[in-house]
Structure 1
Amino acid sequence: MIERRLVTTGLKVLLAELTGRPVGVGTVPVDTQGKPVAPPYTLLYPLDHTTDDATLADRHTTAVSEYQATFVSGPVPGQPDSRGGYEQVQWLADRGRRLVARPADGSAGYAHTLDVPGVTCWKREAFEAGGTSDPTDAIITSVIRFRLHLETSA
């Protein structure tokens, strides 16, 4: 059986690597002192996790995990009247969308490794799901839902 916790951790680490910004699972990310960090950052929400492959002999060696990544922009530190904006949040979402990027040389697989012990992610999907629509907000968001098709590795 594929442990959801391990998949979530692997995805969190990869999104942080791709964006260069902190990722919080279900909450604002915190710094080393346990204090909330200022945006920009990513909020990662685990959604559905299906382990039934619909076969008679299902041994739960496959799973489909879905996540929502909310990319959050924010004011520029040290600039009191600054606001998060579309440029910043689109940059962050574009970096996160690299999760589904294929290798530039055309080889099989994905350009960035999703490290989940004992699990292979053989298919990844990304769906734009909206975001903040009011540019006068101090914080602008962009939402992408990711679907990961997983199987245990031998």
Structure 2
Amino acid sequence: MPLDSKGNPVPPPYTLLYPMDRNDDTGTLADNQRAAILDYQATFVSGPIPGVTNSRGGDEQSQWLADRGWKVVERPADGSPGYSHPLNVGTGVNCWRREAREAGGTSDQNDAIITSVIRYRLFLEEQPAT
């Protein structure tokens, strides 16, 4: 559960982002050892409405959060190359490929919280100095 600036738990809805695996080999013949593949997991957490007794997190709220998470891999509607939303990963580093897959979640409304999970894979490469 995330904490606010005073160390108090933040009530849902929120998104948690976890770093997972890192691999420095792209598995290509042209790999110049300047690349990395990073995996992240985003967990989208719905929850009770603050101040509303007996409210519960729902599929709709969780799905709304996850729908926003898919923007990481969204392509331009006009078919042009690249991604709709830039990903600034650092000076001199290019994210040349992105993947995402839905990895599950929970759906028991008796828990009062519903989650949806997307796992991202980012292919990064250091750009040579010019």
The alignment's TM-score, normalised by the length of structure 2, stands at: 0.87
- 3-state DSSP of counterpart to 2:8: coil
Question: CA shift at 1:105, angstroms?
Answer: 2.5
C-alpha separation in 1, matches of 2:118 and 2:20: 12
In the alignment, structure 2 segments of 5+ residues that lack a partner are none
Q: Which residue identity is paired with 1:123?
A: R
Is contact 2:57-2:114 (8 Å) kept? Answer: yes
Aligned length: 127
Q: Which residue identity is paired with 1:127?
A: R
Structure 1 runs of 4+ off > 4 angstroms? 54-59
C-alpha separation in 2, matches of 1:58 and 1:111: 26
Structure with greater helix share of residues? 1
Change in CA separation of 1:78 and 1:97 when aligned onto 2, cut-off 3 Å: same
Q: Which residue identity is paired with 2:85?
A: H
In the alignment, structure 1 segments of 5+ residues that lack a partner are 1-27
Percentage of matched positions with identical amino acids? 65
Question: CA shift at 1:46, angstroms?
Answer: 1.1
> Aligned ranges for residues 1-154 of structure 1 at < 5 Å?
28-54=1-27, 59-117=32-90, 118-154=92-128
C-alpha separation in 2, matches of 1:36 and 1:90: 22
Structure with greater strand share of residues? 2
Deviation string, structure 1 residues 95-146 (Cα, Å, up to 9, x no partner): 0111100122322111111111121111111111110031222000011111
Is contact 2:26-2:37 (8 Å) kept? Answer: no
Greater Cα radius of gyration, structure 1 or 2: 2
Q: Which residue identity is paired with 1:32?
A: S
Moved more, 56-65 or 122-131: 56-65
